[in-house]
Amino acid sequence: MAQFTSHSPTKRRAVLDALLATLATRPAGALLTTPTAHLFKTSLVFNQDTPIATFHTAEADFSGYAAQALPAAVGPISPGGQTDALLYTVNFLANGIPATPQNNVYGYWVDHNAGADWVLAELFPGPIPFTQTGDYLDLSVLFALAWVELTGD
């Protein structure tokens, strides 16, 4: 069994801008609609402006794989430092292997709005194999925003 807790995922610039915009207005609805976690099977190079199609072309396809809808968030929590976060936990399980395909997975991304755009993505420290029945990943996604208290003159 593998376990990974996100540390420093790249967040989509448009989502961060939307979060900041909510400070000035009261949102009429949820910012994230139907957030879903996905795994990717190649070591992607991405930044906050990477198109979602880049992630979809690299999506895992090991036997038993399915993207996982994020459950209700736990939080806000304070994971340390000057950060507040929401915590989501999902599980991925390989079944039917050694039937093909088998994958190593290199990271995850979370999308929303029925896959229309991505919210955050992160590489794992190393590949996680899904090559046998029962290979498992417990993924804890921290949607964290750092805060800094500014002091003025």
Buried b (16+ CB within 10 A) or exposed e, 55-67: beebbbebbebeb
The beta-strand segments (E) located in the chain are 2-5, 10-11, 36-40, 68-69, 74-77, 83-93, 103-112, 117-130, 136-146
Q: What average pLDDT does range 85-90 have in this prediction?
A: 86
Ordered by start, the domain boundaries in the chain are: 2-146
Confidence of residue 27 (pLDDT cuts 50, 70, 90): very low
- Cβ burial of 80 (10 Å; 0-12, 13-18, 19+) is exposed
pTM value? 0.78
Among 10-24, 31-45, 125-139, the minimum mean pLDDT is found in: 10-24
Report how far residue 68's alpha carbon sits from residue 26's, in angstroms, rounded to the nearest whole number.
Answer: 29
Report how far residue 58's alpha carbon sits from residue 60's, in angstroms, rounded to the nearest whole number.
Answer: 6
The one-letter amino acid at 2:
A
Report how far residue 39's alpha carbon sits from residue 59's, in angstroms, rounded to the nearest whole number.
Answer: 6
CA angle 91, 102, 133 (to 5 degrees): 55
Q: Does 100 score more than 80 pLDDT?
A: no
Which one-letter DSSP state was computed for residue 114? T
